[in-house]
Amino acid sequence: MVVDYSSRQRTDAVFHALADATRRSIVEKTFQRDYSISELARFYPMSFAAVQKHVAILARADLVSKRRQGREQIVRSNMAAIHRAEKCLERYEELWGNRFDRMNEILSEDDRKGAPQ
């Protein structure tokens, strides 16, 4: 069995990044339009440096990209990374859905076997 560790690490990085409410908020804002880090910093009760660190974590997870525009760094969301996370969650949903379906089948079989004839 071949395990794709790089894929697992990317997935781990995405969910680690999205575990924080501020970072989720930054991603949501950048869905609407591109923002400079200084513009993003105005939305949050924290320092510019703190917002910059949040953006760096999002960039490492490939949830956003940064580009220079003069003295500013412009942040843009990366929908492909969001779709990869969504597919991962869909696999878990399918796995658990199948397990619940199987449990219902087993319980139905037990009910039929235990029913008086």
Condensed to tens digits (0 to 9), the pLDDT of residues 78-116 reads 998 888 888 888 888 888 888 887 888 888 876 777 655
Looking at the DSSP assignment, which residues form a beta bridge with residue 36? 74
Pairwise pLDDT comparison (88 vs 22), residue with the higher score:
22
Looking at the DSSP assignment, which residues form a beta bridge with residue 61? none
> In whole angstroms, what is the distance from residue 75 CA to residue 11 CA?
21
Pairwise pLDDT comparison (98 vs 117), residue with the higher score:
98
Residue with tokens 């409410």: 21
**Range 5-114 classified under CATH 1.10.10.10:** yes
